[in-house]
Structure 1
Amino acid sequence: MIVYIGAIEGDGLTVATADPATGGLTVTDTLADVREPSFLAMRGTTLYAVVEEPEGAVTELDIADPAAPRVRRVVATGQAGPTHLCLHGDHLAVAHYTDGTVTIHDLDTLAVTDRLRHEADEPHAHQVVSHGDWLVAVDLGADAVLTHRVDNGRITQHARCDLPKGTGPRHLAFHGDTAAYVLGEYIPGVTRLAWDAGAFTVTGHHLVTAPGAPETFPAEIIAADTHLYTSNRGENVIARLDLDGTLRQSVPVGGDWPRHCAVDPTGRWLYVANQRSHNVTWLPRDPATGELGEPVGSVTVRGACMVAFA
């Protein structure tokens, strides 16, 4: 399997291979000309990476040969500090943390077709997620999850779900067509949301930290089968929860400041990008129960912050 590893304040985009039997990663290439690729998205033979800099941009790469990505172009977003992006229909959506703006880009040219800044004293758009006809944005500064329509390249806000002040919502994961889970960075927990017709309703909140845990700043949430996994910076663990919010495990990641985590296509391994210890680790996972084991390996990647499978 080919793996792409994004980084912040690192050496660019790292390409690796993963052994599905052992989980082992082997770095095969590093593209230094891909600047600050802190988040990645793919469709077909194209890979997109944010350029998380004060003058934000998107890097587009050709991955017709997955093992040998080639930069096609770098296009400015016109906004500051992009941290996330996703494909949405015939467009690319980019979330900008620094100025709280979501930009919409034409896929043929990557030109900006529209932009929307969230309403808040200090908006920080941290994530965008495409779900059917809807584009969902998570804004850490606004303490809100917002739903948008994108029509002919124009973005309009449809609904807003406010969370308790100080939650600091960072990332969201859907599970099926009726539920989603949003992870708080400042109040370290998962808020359960009901989803219906483009709008969210809060249905519950659950902590992702074990009793006595140190100060924790969760970063990523993913849904795999009937399990949720969160990366908890500070505590430096992966938390495993049931869909009802019950905390089942807190497993050390084998590194410092886990930013992003991902389950591989076999379901047998969970990979963690540890930003401050500059490594990616892998933990065995039982596909039947979702249970995680402690890390069995590590590879050095400076500033590692995301793992994506080709």
Structure 2
Amino acid sequence: MTTAYIGSIEGDGLTVAAADPETGALTAVGSAPAREPSFLAFSADRRTLYAVVEAAEGAVTELDISDPANPSIRRTFPTGQSGPTHLCVHGEHLAVAHYGDGTVTLHELATGERTDVLRHEADEPHAHQVVSQDGWLVAVDLGADAVFTHRVDGGKLVQHARCDLPAGTGPRHIAFQDSALQGGRAYLLGEYVPGVTRLHWRDGALTPVGHDLVTAPGAPETFPAEIVLADNHIYTTNRGENVVARLTLDGRLDQSVPTGGDWPRHCAIDPTGRWLYVANQRSNTVTWLPRDPATGVLGDAAGSLAVRGACAVEFA
């Protein structure tokens, strides 16, 4: 069995589940009273789990997961900003993106103390995601229609590069291909224009090279939420259409599979590569879809676990 952590919004805190690698089935085995843990991130040694507190008075909950099946809250510390939706560990710091007021905060891992706060230059910034990549801190801002790259210098955020997208794209989440310090590829998911922008990544700067839709002709209004790369395939969760889309790395849409739930948010592939799990916020479920690691092909949803307000899934 593998331990899975399920975050929620307007739900019942953090749910701990056991995942059967043979059947994909999830079984709830515990919980932790973390408040509004809508996104999760691990420490480098994977013995600590960080969860945003997605509330007007933003905060982070730090949990001890040295015993993966029995997480315990160590502390909760404020971010000082509103509506955090994403976070990541970046060296000796924790970075937090705030959708509510469009800021990124930086905190010392050891103390939780905030060392910097940055608001991106835009009329209505909405920082949606932060990613640590190749020594850079990358921030996706939906309201600015841009992706920013920062370096961290003495606990301060220093902007290095800005990649602008067409107005109205609504960039939400980015995924990088294998780490490549001297160059590589990244894939940026748009929420308002439901597609993936392919980007070139070099020396901390992103350059768009193509854009591909994640919806088939005739699909209902769709608001993509999450993007995952695995084995030369791109997977996106599409809210409204309520499917997982599978694309090739060159942007060809190969498959759209119903998630078995309503309003899919985050998705994750289990350590075996044989199952894809989807947190369906409005149907209050986490569903699992079989996946062929050799071809990337997904099957129909094989089951579900009831989790109120489910919106994130991570594996220990």
TM tier, shorter chain? over 0.9
1:27 match: 28
1:102 match: 104
Matched, 1:180 2:186: yes
Q: TM-score under structure 2 normalisation? A: 0.97
**Distance (Å, rounded) in 2 between the aligned partners of 1:79 and 1:49:** 15
Equivalent positions of 1:133-212 (< 5 A) are: 133-176=135-178, 177=180, 178-212=184-218
Deviation at 1:153, TM superposition (A): 1.1
Q: CA offsets, 1:127-151, max 9 Å, x none?
A: 0000011000000000001000012
Q: CA offsets, 1:188-213, max 9 Å, x none?
A: 00000000100010100000001100
2:273 match: 267
Deviation at 1:30, TM superposition (A): 2.2
> Which amino acid in the other structure matches residue 204 of structure 1?
G
> Which amino acid in the other structure matches residue 295 of structure 1?
A
Matched, 1:228 2:230: no
The CA RMSD over aligned residues, in Å, is 0.5
**Distance (Å, rounded) in 1 between the aligned partners of 2:198 and 2:66:** 39
**Distance (Å, rounded) in 2 between the aligned partners of 1:94 and 1:170:** 15
**Distance (Å, rounded) in 2 between the aligned partners of 1:75 and 1:223:** 32
Determine which of 240, 245, 255 is the counterpart of 1:249: 255
**Distance (Å, rounded) in 2 between the aligned partners of 1:286 and 1:239:** 15
**Deviant stretches of 4+, over 3 Å:** none
**Distance (Å, rounded) in 2 between the aligned partners of 1:288 and 1:147:** 34
Matched, 1:48 2:54: no
**Distance (Å, rounded) in 2 between the aligned partners of 1:133 and 1:173:** 15
Q: TM-score under structure 1 normalisation? A: 0.99
Deviation at 1:186, TM superposition (A): 0.3
Equivalent positions of 1:268-283 (< 5 A) are: 268-283=274-289
**Distance (Å, rounded) in 1 between the aligned partners of 2:310 and 2:78:** 23
**Distance (Å, rounded) in 1 between the aligned partners of 2:294 and 2:309:** 32
2:264 match: 258
**Residue 100 of structure 2: SS of its match in structure 1?**
coil
**Distance (Å, rounded) in 2 between the aligned partners of 1:59 and 1:118:** 25
Deviation at 1:89, TM superposition (A): 0.6
**Distance (Å, rounded) in 2 between the aligned partners of 1:293 and 1:13:** 28
Determine which of 111, 114, 118 is the counterpart of 1:112: 114
Determine which of 203, 228, 243 is the counterpart of 1:237: 243
2:12 match: 11
Q: CA offsets, 1:98-143, max 9 Å, x none?
A: 1110000001001101111101000000000000110000000000
**Residue 116 of structure 2: SS of its match in structure 1?**
strand
1:309 match: 315
Matched, 1:291 2:297: yes
> Which amino acid in the other structure matches residue 307 of structure 1?
V
Gaps of at least 5 residues in structure 2 are none
